[in-house]
Amino acid sequence: MLSDRYELPLTTASSAARDAYVEGCAAKLTMYPGAIEGFDRAIAADPGFALAHAVKAHASLERGDAAGARASIAAAKSFATGVTLREASHIAFFDLLVAGDSEAALVALPAHLKEWPRDALVLSTAAFTNGLIGSSGRAGQKRMLRALLDGLESSYGDDDWWFTAHHGMALSENGQYDAAREKIDRSFAQNPRNPWVAHARAHLCYEEGDPNTARAFLAPWLPDYPRDGLLFSHLNWHLALGHIEVGDTAAALRVFEDAIGPAAHTGPARGKITDAVSFLWRWELAGHPRDGAAWRTLYDFANTMFRGPGVAFTDIHIALAQVVAGDDPSLATRAEQIDTLARVGRYPSGSLVQTVADGFAAFERRDFAAAIDTLEPIAGQLERIGGSLAQADLVRFTLLKAYLGADRTEDARRMLSTRPRGGADVPVAGLAALH
């Protein structure tokens, strides 16, 4: 029986279908272009290859093609007769994701991986910061992800650069920087073109307060990664943050205009909102002027693409775009929609998104006392919204700037003192007065 890269049997008699499927999986796991095309070649070689249809469904979902995802998962289920137990569980898992039932998928994940720990396509849905665990709304989720990957380490071994990059990132997010560095360096040595290891290295540099190392690494690394790779614009976001931290505003703007801004972002729609909104707000917190045209474009895009709430991490960025636009009615409508979903258990972050939105709104109208009163109580709960530690700084830096605006310098000093990376490189205007 033919098998995949991880030696898992595949129900297809076509070597051509198997080879194309493996190529598609490699592209999907590494966020390179060509995943869907690989699965299409596999399906052309064997139209009844159920697993190729299933993984194509999720690849389509990642790209925002919900209708295509539904069609592909329906095809997978129609061809599922006679597949292995692992493939049947795999198809059922992706069926839950396509149906939008991420909670059920998260419940199914441990049982599937206990039985088939090397099913990397299933693991990949949870292995990164904004995956199933990161979007679950749970407290302690960063520890949960690290524990999951710790438990699977022996199944992948030291030579699996894909797994090791994710493991290194999870260790970094839990403050285990030395252990993270060892894994990130090993993964990079095995495959320096894997964007996940570039991502993990950028995060480690950020957490250790080393923007120059991040810039020196990313600037020459990025030109060889395709612009239509799904992590291209997000990795440029990391590069731009490094430029902001060291005060190279011209370089930061060039990166924004070339790879992050509304007209340039090449990643999925959610990434376009989160990366661009985050850059623009951080840019202002660092003391630079507002780009009203870019904000308006993002506001229009968000209102067109995301008519209702969905993922909490995306929703706080949409709310920020609405705050900047002064669109109080849309903010109120989205708050009501979130509350309705939360009451029936379909919005695990609960009221946190609306609290953050209220804090942004208070800050925008320069009511710094209200911003502090709103954001301070939930500052320790931000992981429940999702995103990395670096991404959560969107909220933390807003609170820090509010302390400065309210002349609460001792609170600002206290907040800086609790950051593991120190306060010297925090890109928030006005910090010099604290020293």
- 388 - beta bridge partners? none
pLDDT given for residue 236 in this prediction: 98
Predicted pLDDT at 228: 96
Please choose, from the candidates 362, 343, 296, the residue with its C-alpha nearest in 3D space to the C-alpha of residue 335: 343
Kindly report the pTM of this predicted structure.
Answer: 0.96
Across the chain, what does the average pLDDT equal? 96
Q: CA 400 to CA 397: how far, in whole Å? A: 5
The values of phi and psi at residue 3, to 5°, are -140, 170
- 387 neighbors 129 (Cβ within 8 angstroms): yes
How far apart are alpha carbons 181 and 385 in whole angstroms?
A: 26
Q: Is 94 helix (H, G, I), strand (E, B) or coil?
A: helix
Q: What is the mean pLDDT of residues 177-184?
A: 98
**Which of 53-62, 259-268, 344-353 comes out lowest in average pLDDT?**
344-353
d(CA 340, CA 106): 22
Q: Is the dihedral of CA 66, 71, 74, 76 positive or negative?
A: negative
Amino acid in the structure at residue 79: F
pLDDT of residue 420: 66
What is the pLDDT averaged over residues 395-408? 98
Tens digits of residue pLDDT in 298-317: 999 999 999 899 999 999 99
Q: What is the CA radius of gyration of the chain?
A: 22
Residue 420 near residue 414, CB atoms below 8 Å: no
Angle at 165 between CA 132 and CA 113, to 5 degrees: 45
Q: How many CA atoms lie within 13 A of 84 on its CB side?
A: 14
**Does residue 190 surpass a pLDDT of 80?**
yes
pLDDT number for residue 433: 79
pLDDT at residue 423, as a whole number: 47
Residue 278 near residue 391 (C-beta atoms within 8 A): yes
Give the pLDDT mean for 285-296: 97
Residue 262 contacts residue 306 (beta carbons within 8 Å) = no
Give the per-residue pLDDT at 316: 97
Question: Identity (one letter) of the amino acid at 94?
Answer: F
All structural domains of the chain, each given as residue ranges with its CATH number in brackets, are: 15-125 (1.25.40.10), 130-208 (1.25.40), 228-434 (1.25.40)
Q: In the block, which residue shows the tokens 């720990």? A: 117
pLDDT grade for 418, boundaries at 50, 70 and 90: confident
pLDDT single digits (tens) 57-86: 999 999 989 999 999 999 999 999 999 999
pLDDT at 435 over 90: no
- Rounded Cα distance between 107 and 88, Å, is 16
Instruction: Look at residues 391, 398, 389, 394 and name the one whose alpha carbon lies nearest to residue 421.
Output: 389
Residue 34: per-residue pLDDT: 97
pLDDT of residue 84: 98
Instruction: Give the span between the Cα atoms of 129 and 145, in whole angstroms.
Output: 8
Q: Residue 312: which of 65, 71, 102 has the closest Cα?
A: 102
Condensed to tens digits (0 to 9), the pLDDT of residues 224-236 reads 999 999 999 999 9
Q: What is the mean pLDDT of residues 26-41?
A: 98
